[in-house]
Structure 1
Amino acid sequence: MNVTRNALAAVALAAALHAPQGHAADAAAIETETQMLKTLLTAIEAGNYQQFVSSGSADFAKLDRAQFDAVATQLGPRLHAGYQVQRLGDYRQQSYEFSLWKITFKDGGDDLVGTLNLQGGKVGGFVLR
């Protein structure tokens, strides 16, 4: 599973590094991030590549379909069984702002940590580990 997640992470992180500087963590921004995270996770759960990439910037949309499908195949059933998200905060890296998330699955398996970078309402980068 690490290989496919790392492939998704590499593409998503590369897109994030081309994104302009991020946002302030006000209530409206947090709500937007939460909704976008849920949109991305719903797309992974459903195996809906088009929904996933349409949420992102042009660079983010370059994600390879096979990489997405591999991640969706592995995580989709876990997401479908139920999960909760918890916003852990923000961090800055190389002058970019990211929000940090914990995804806890109802199956009792390993949690995931996600990072999300938004640019102009679109996903600039999204990484799951």
Structure 2
Amino acid sequence: MFKKVLSIIIWMIALFIETLSLSLVRADIPHKFWIIISGFAISLLLAVAASKFWISSFKYDKTKVSNEEKRKRFILENLYIYVSIACFIPLGFYFILSKSIDKRIKNSVWLEMVMLIIWISYIVMTVK
């Protein structure tokens, strides 16, 4: 249980760092590009660490478990990926399609969506 809670906390910190990095897109600061890239790298490393903690909390002997139980455990092992896709991508599309939001914010939401999709696909590829 501790590993699951730790994984969720690390995942939330990674999302916060990624969102904070994207908020710098509109800021006028020196070396903005490298700060944003560093923020994405840190959030990606935290997300991979969170995925490793999450999966290690589900270790079991696969030879003694039925196929149905293996399927259920696989879904639980990858639950945070499904939750991210289910929550953040539709929310991003809402902001993109909303007529009450100005053009600059929509452009940063597009960037957020692209980075989130790249981030999630990288995590899906690294999860075993």
Relative to the length of structure 2, the TM-score reads 0.34
| Structure holding more helix per residue | 2
Larger relative contact order (C-alpha < 8 A, sep ≥ 6)? Answer: 1
| Structure holding more strand per residue | 1
Relative to the length of structure 1, the TM-score reads 0.34
Computing the radius of gyration from Cα coordinates, the structure with the larger value is 2
